[in-house]
Amino acid sequence: MRAILILSFLVISLDSAARIGIADWRISTPGDNYIDNFSSVSLYLKDGQQLDDLERWYFYRGCVVGELSDGKGWFVVDEAKSEIVWQTDKSKWEALLQERGLVPSVWTRWIDSDPAVLTSGMFWMLWIVTSWYIAIPILLAVVILFRRAWKRERFNWRKPYTIGAMVIGLFVLWRIFIENFLQSF
């Protein structure tokens, strides 16, 4: 049992081996800049500029749009030009968004922390280790559900185990899509 626990810790947490700390994260922006939370949540541009204390943000049309923490203001970063526009007046910021066409018409994907928390190996490792009495039965139930859908029902679309397996599978695919597609549209 101890060997399995050690092996699962090593295998599941490989993606965070090179990070500064367990809770630290770093994401790439669509313009190949990056956002991390090593000292505070900060946006680092390729030309060396840095914007600190991001509260929440979204990506749209080559820009990073968002607000700073503690009511310090709002910002628009054009990643191609490495241009940072910072406003302390929300109405001026909203006018700037309208002027540049940076208000998504369908969906605004606001991000306020690591967007890949559920596909992160550290999350699953910590959840299983700290909540094993909940995690193990849930994982076993999912395995049994998929096994019964395969063995008993041969994935017949009208059978209950197959429907349950499809719902779980679609939820997992939706989470993977949501955590990897960060654009607003």
Residues of the chain with pLDDT under 70: 1-23, 116-129
pTM: 0.69
User: Are 31 and 85 in a shared domain?
Assistant: yes
Residue 108 forms part of a structural domain: no
User: Are 83 and 136 in a shared domain?
Assistant: no
Q: Which domain holds residue 162?
A: 131-180
CA angle 177/5/20 to nearest 5° reads: 60
Q: For position 15, what pLDDT does the model report?
A: 46
User: Are 48 and 93 in a shared domain?
Assistant: yes
Q: For position 80, what pLDDT does the model report?
A: 95
Return d(Cα 81, Cα 77) in angstroms, integer.
9
Return d(Cα 130, Cα 150) in angstroms, integer.
31
User: Are 91 and 139 in a shared domain?
Assistant: no
Q: For position 6, what pLDDT does the model report?
A: 60
Both tokens of 115, joined, read 């967007």
Return d(Cα 24, Cα 38) in angstroms, integer.
6
Residue 59 forms part of a structural domain: yes
Residue 107 forms part of a structural domain: no
Q: For position 1, what pLDDT does the model report?
A: 54
Q: Spell out the residues 6+ positions from residue 109 whose beta carbon is closer than 8 angstroms to its own.
A: 58, 59, 182, 183, 184
User: Are 30 and 92 in a shared domain?
Assistant: yes
Residue 52 forms part of a structural domain: yes
Shortest CA distance to 55 belongs to which of 114, 112, 93, 108? 112
Q: Sheet containing 63-68: which strands, arranged edge to edge? A: 54-60, 63-68, 74-78, 83-87
Q: For position 19, what pLDDT does the model report?
A: 45
Both tokens of 65, joined, read 């749009």
Cα dihedral 55/58/64/65 (nearest 10): -70
Q: For position 52, what pLDDT does the model report?
A: 95
Residue 21 forms part of a structural domain: no
Domains of the chain: total: 2
